[in-house]
Amino acid sequence: MVAEQGGPEDQKPQSDEARSAFVPPAGVEQPPGPSEDDHPTSEFAVPAGLQTEHPSSPGSASAPGGGNGSEHLASAFTTPSGVQGHPAPAFTPAQGVPMVRLTKEAPWQDRMRTMLRMPVFERPAPESVQKTDDSGPAVPRVLDLTLRIGELLLAGGEGAEDVEAAMFAVSRSYGLDRCEPTVTFTLLSISHQPSLVEDPVTASRTVRRRGTDYTRLAAVFQLVDDITTAEHVEVSLEEAYRRLAEIRRNRHPYPGWVLTAAAGLLAGSASVLVGGGVLVFLAAAAGAMLGDRLAWLFAGRGLPEFYQFMAAAMPPAAMGIALTLTHSTDIRPSAVVTGGLFALLPGRALVAGVQDGLTGYYITAGARLLEVMYFFIGIVAGVLLMLYLGVQLGAQLNPEARFVPHDRPVVQILASMALTLAFAILLQQERSTVLAVTLNGGVAWVVYGAMARAGDISPVAATAVAAGLVGLFGQLFSRYRYTSSLPYITAAIGPLLPGSATYFGLLAFAQNEVDTGLALLSTAVATALAIAIGVNLGSEISRLFMRVPGGVEGGPSRRAAKRTRGF
């Protein structure tokens, strides 16, 4: 490039950096140089003489119908003539590239779930909600806080996807980008890579003890919500640790004797659902309370949960056999045993396991379902032991009792609501959520009764539809309260659990009717799967009709990325 002969500034020799590859060859007209008023530009600026207009912009030589016939110097990335469309520019425009923004109106669960389902390179940059000091966030402490929050959620029975969403939300709120949480049945880990050239920082935590306390679960969700979405509330790391310690130290909302009474109410209400009367209600309640105290005794001695379930299943079965030996025609012993089984069936773990499988967390789903299988085997062992003892004592156990009609709509609706109320107390739910979940359980039984009893529809299909409504209403309640959906769902599925089919299947095995027992137990398994799938489907339907929590600024709405395609 030849400089004009001017002042001293113009006669300075130019450096090698000034001789760019974009210098026009000899014979090409030199574009006018920068004026004295121009400011120095970055070395990443577009060199003089390079066409910077978008190919499709008005006035461009390559724009359809544009230009005035003059020849312009075009970039190698210019769209050839005849090619339709609006390709992206060859360089980052001054206004930046379109950015994915997640709507603040959506709950943090949906926003974080949407980002987890996105490819890593499409996730938006974190917008720090919580303030950090000038040196940046304390990465080890943020990761430790994230793991502790995930531990409480996983130990409380939350699904793996929701636990990952909570961990992802906490880490991003404190400004950590490129974080990847991983959740399995007993292990949580999170990895943070500060940059592409730095080593990642990884931390993990093991969940060794599980407990059912939905009050604690709701408190953890409130903490995550304050950290993630409440920009007017500053939650520092010290404040978050303090609140987390308070959540751990909080006592259960209900004392032990209330839980034992709730177990009796649950069993008595379940016995009324299958046709029992007042005496059956009292007998089932007594058997369940005795089994609950026996399970507490075994737990205090440090025995595994398998033996606790086995011990809890024996008193209700023994109570039913004792009533059979009295030869009373006004009492249905099968209803007593069925009511006791309702209080033991692991519906919470079953729903969580199937939900993890449907959302793609197959390792966690397999572990949860294996846990359910062990619990069920413990229940089977305890009931079968009592049934074999009853057969040896000459008890006339009648498998045909399951075909006795017992349609009492009003009584059964009230019993279903009482069962749901007792289940909610056993789950240690907040008192403010008990009424909502009780109504949800009553609606579920009304739908099931209308379809299975009045409409003569398959009980499994009716159970799936009723469970779907439970999941739908549970998600709506949780969106209204900005908390987990489990407190509004788990107790409401109590009236739908397959206690009757389970008992009569075990009774058939005790009487050496293997084919009948297998058929009835298969019905129980199908009903349980229908409950779990229905709950998950209802939850997904509620998200389907809600506002999509993702979009491109200035463009159409952006849906969550697809999951496993299957091929």
Domain boundaries, the chain: 135-251, 256-544
Distance CA 420, CA 440 (A): 9
User: What's the token pair of residue 333?
Assistant: 């012993």
| Centroid of chain to Cα 87 | 38
Residue 381 burial class via C-beta count within 10 angstroms: exposed 0-12, middle 13-18, buried 19 and up: middle
Four-residue CA torsion sign, 125, 130, 132, 137: negative
**Count of beta carbons in the 10 Å neighbourhood of residue 371:** 19
Distance CA 397, CA 508 (A): 10
pTM of the predicted model, to two decimals? 0.69
Distance CA 334, CA 275 (A): 10
Q: What is the DSSP letter of 452?
A: I
Cβ proximity of 315 and 340 under 8 Å: yes
Distance CA 286, CA 278 (A): 12
Q: What is the DSSP letter of 93?
A: -
Distance CA 9, CA 165 (A): 60
β-pair partners for 203: 190
**Count of beta carbons in the 10 Å neighbourhood of residue 304:** 12
What string of H, E and C letters represents the secondary structure of 372-435? HHHHHHHHHHHHHHHHHHHHHCCCCCCHHHHHCCCCCHHHHHHHHHHHHHHHHHHCCCCHHHHH
Helix (H, G, I), strand (E, B) or coil at 181: strand
Distance CA 263, CA 350 (A): 19
User: What's the token pair of residue 8?
Assistant: 């001293």
**Count of beta carbons in the 10 Å neighbourhood of residue 126:** 17
Q: What is the dihedral of CA 268, 274, 280, 284, to 10 degrees?
A: -40
Percentages helix, strand, coil for the chain (3-state, rounded to 5) are: 55, 5, 40
The whole-number pLDDT of residue 151 equals: 92
Four-residue CA torsion sign, 71, 77, 81, 86: negative
Four-residue CA torsion sign, 485, 491, 496, 499: positive
* H-only helix segments in 207-346: 214-228, 237-249, 256-273, 278-300, 305-325, 333-342
Beta strands 201-206 and 187-192, pairing class = antiparallel
Q: What is the dihedral of CA 411, 417, 421, 423, to 10 degrees?
A: 90
Beta strands 100-101 and 179-183, pairing class = unpaired
The whole-number pLDDT of residue 58 equals: 46
The whole-number pLDDT of residue 116 equals: 63
Helix (H, G, I), strand (E, B) or coil at 227: helix
Q: What is the DSSP string of 507-563?
A: HHHHTT-HHHHHHHHHHHHHHHHHHHHHHHHHHHHHHHTSPPS-EETTS-B-PPPP-
The whole-number pLDDT of residue 85 equals: 45
**Count of beta carbons in the 10 Å neighbourhood of residue 534:** 26
Residues of the chain predicted below pLDDT 70: 1-137, 230-233, 328-330, 396-407, 545-567
439-464 as b/e, with b when 16 or more CB fall inside 10 Å? bbbbbbbbbbbebbbeeeeebbebbb
Cβ proximity of 438 and 488 under 8 Å: no
**Comparing C-alpha atoms, which of 372, 393, 539 is closest to residue 471?**
539
How big is the chain by its Cα radius of gyration, in Å? 33
**Comparing C-alpha atoms, which of 505, 201, 527 is closest to residue 379?**
505
The whole-number pLDDT of residue 129 equals: 60
The whole-number pLDDT of residue 524 equals: 83
**Comparing C-alpha atoms, which of 279, 314, 500, 264 is closest to residue 399?**
500
